[in-house]
Amino acid sequence: MMDTAPTQSWMRYAAARKRLSAAYLLLAIGGLLGAHRFYLRRTGTAVLLLVITLMSLPWALVFWGWAGLFVTLIWAALDALRLPGMVERFNTALAARLA
Amino acid sequence: MIARIRRATPQDAAVIAGLHHTTRVVAYAGTGMAPTPLDQLMQRWERILAEPDAPVSATFIAEDAGRPLGFCACGPQRDEAMARAGFGGEFLSIYVLPEAQRLGLGQRLMGAAARRLLAHRMDAATLWVLAANESAREFYATLGAAEIARREVDGHMQVAAGWRGLMGLAAA
């Protein structure tokens, strides 16, 4: 029989890999807040998205915020197209780290 | 060429059957084996891709700007003896068009399939290849496969290539 101890690298891969369905769900729910990018461990750009959206929200009622929200909306829309590739790259890099 | 690897959907049955047929005609040339007729292949792929209750099985397509170049299908092991030997997964088919070979597509397709098997906690897999298909056997050997069994089907020798550990493939 094969060793199935949970410390095996392939078990860690199975547990830590990212799912495309989860990434899309997060994008749909909290894409403007960078949720999908936090999930894929792209923390820097995730924080940037979050900050732009949060800073824009109060101003959206007045005037300037619309520009910021427009930026994050376009960003999230582009991410929707790039998500399969992002998930694949994360999982490939994860496998490379564990191999 | 910036080829993309993606999961196949039931709508891809005709495309995959076409690829399958083309690559088989090339691979079987000179072996005396008759390639399966296109309409039979198409029915088979319609069935495979429509299977909703296949949690492990998956087919991946490589395409460049919408042009299909190759595919790879994986699933749970069909051979009982191999399953008992620990090879829980199987690469059911892998084909890349001759003009798109040696560009790393086969490796990327197998990588996607390996990640799929790993995600379902299968860390070892096999595939069957014609013994006469030297270039394919060499390709699998470079990817870390060992020849673990032989069998004869319709008078043609086939070799089983096996991977113990799919992490290396998955990192491709």
B169 has pLDDT over 50: yes
Read off the pTM.
Answer: 0.87
C-alpha–C-alpha distance, residues A55 and A71, integer Å: 12
Closest-CA residue of chain B to A2: B86
Chain centroid to CA B122: how far?
Answer: 16
Q: Is the distance from CB of B30 to CB of B40 less than 8 angstroms?
A: no
Residue A12 belongs to some domain of the structure: no
The answer to whether the Cα torsion of B164, B20, B53, B5 is positive or negative is positive
B59 in Cβ contact with B72 (< 8 Å) = yes
Structural domain total, chain A: 1
Q: Is residue B33 over pLDDT 80? A: no
| CA atoms of A44 and B79, how far apart (whole Å) | 47
Inter-chain contact B171–A10, Cβ cutoff 8 Å? no
Range of the domain at A30: 19-98
Q: Residue B118 is nearest to which of A14, A88, A96, comparing CB atoms?
A: A14
The 8 Å CB, 24+ separation contacts for B31-37 are B31/B130, B31/B132, B31/B156, B33/B154, B33/B156
Distance from CA of B119 to the nearest CA of A (A): 4
Mean pLDDT of A82-94: 95
Residue A47 counted as domain residue: yes
- Cβ separation A95–B120 shorter than 8 A: no
pLDDT in tens, B71-111: 999 999 999 999 999 999 999 999 999 889 889 999 999 99
Rama region for A6: left / alpha / beta (φ>0; ψ in -120 to 50; rest): alpha
At the topology level, CATH places domain B4-170 in Aminopeptidase (3.40.630)
Say if A93 falls within a structural domain.
yes
Residues in A touching B115 (Cβ below 8 Å):
13, 17, 91-92, 95
Q: Is the pLDDT of residue A5 over 60?
A: no
Whole-number mean pLDDT of chain A?
91
Query: For B84, which residue in chain A has the nearest alpha carbon?
Result: A1
B window 19-78, beta carbon within 8 A of A: none
Q: Is the residue at A13 inside a domain?
A: no
Residue B66 has pLDDT above 60, yes or no: yes
Residue A2 falls inside a structural domain: no
CB contacts of A9 in chain B (<8 Å) are 167
Under DSSP, the state recorded for B103 is S
Residue A6 with chain B: CB contacts under 8 Å: none
> What distance lies between CA B161 and its chain's CA centroid?
12
Residues 11-40 of A with CB under 8 A from B: 11, 13-14, 17
Residue type, B84: R
User: Could you state, in order of their start, the residue ranges of all structural domains in chain B?
Assistant: 4-170
Instruction: Tell me whether A82 touches chain B (CB under 8 Å).
Output: no
* H helices present in chain B, as ranges: 13-28, 38-50, 80-84, 105-119, 134-142, 167-170
Average pLDDT, chain B: 91
Minimal C-alpha gap between B54 and chain A (Å): 17
**In the sheet where B89-96 sits, what is the strand order?**
B4-7, B58-64, B67-76, B89-96, B124-130, B156-164, B146-153
With contacts defined as CB-CB under 8 Å, which chain B residues touch A88? Answer: 5, 112
Q: How far apart are CA A84 and CA A10, in angstroms?
A: 22
SS3 A64: coil
Portion of chain B with pLDDT greater than 70, in percent: 98
**What stretch of H or E contains A97?**
helix A65-98
C-alpha of B88 from chain center: 15
